[in-house]
């Protein structure tokens, strides 16, 4: 009962967190999702959204940890794989990003993935010269 009430309260406050993203106030978004996670630590979306806020503040290690937790909690959460791949790439860990990219291809080959990864250019192709130059042991 308490968890249901807490989750409902977090859902009601979503309009505030959307304002944080619009204003690029990612620090408050992190605080908001941290509070939400305290109330419901099994919600993959909360971890995924906090991961996005960490990505925007260039806290890539924290972003990676949250994205990883999100996909551990929900293997079908596509944005978690995207954010995990983006975090690894931001950290220069191209080889580590490949499993998440492949998971994206398998879980959502024509839905969310193509628009999200267009900016990755040839990083989307695991055999591209850019990826191979950074991960020659592939």
Distance CA(90)–CA(23), nearest Å, equals: 23
Between residues 42 and 19, which one has the greater pLDDT? 42
Q: In this structure, what CATH number is given to the domain that contains residue 46?
A: 1.25.40.10
What integer best gives the mean pLDDT of the chain?
A: 78
Residue whose C-alpha is closest to residue 81's, from 91, 133, 96, 56: 96
Which tens digit of pLDDT belongs to each residue from 56-68? 999 999 999 999 9
Q: How many CA atoms lie within 13 A of 86 on its CB side?
A: 25
Q: How many helices (H) and strands (E) does the chain have?
A: 9, 0
- What's the domain count of the chain? 1
**pTM (2 decimals)?**
0.74
Domain that holds residue 36: 2-134
C-beta separation of 82 from 111 below 8 A: no
pLDDT higher than 80, residue 10: no
Which tens digit of pLDDT belongs to each residue from 69-101? 999 999 989 889 989 999 999 998 988 888 888
């Amino acid at each position: 009962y308490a968890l249901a009430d807490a989750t409902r309260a977090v859902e009601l406050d979503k309009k505030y967190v959307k304002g944080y993203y619009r204003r690029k106030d990612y620090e408050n978004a992190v605080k908001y999702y941290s509070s939400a996670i305290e109330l419901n630590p099994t919600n993959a979306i909360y971890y995924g959204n906090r991961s996005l806020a960490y990505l925007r503040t260039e806290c890539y290690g924290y972003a990676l940890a949250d994205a990883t937790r999100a996909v551990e909690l929900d293997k079908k959460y596509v944005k978690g794989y995207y954010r995990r791949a983006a975090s690894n790439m931001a950290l220069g860990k191209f080889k580590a990003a490949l499993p998440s990219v492949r998971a994206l291809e398998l879980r959502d080959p024509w839905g969310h993935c193509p628009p999200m990864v267009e900016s990755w250019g040839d990083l989307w192709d695991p055999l591209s010269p850019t990826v191979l130059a950074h991960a020659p042991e592939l």
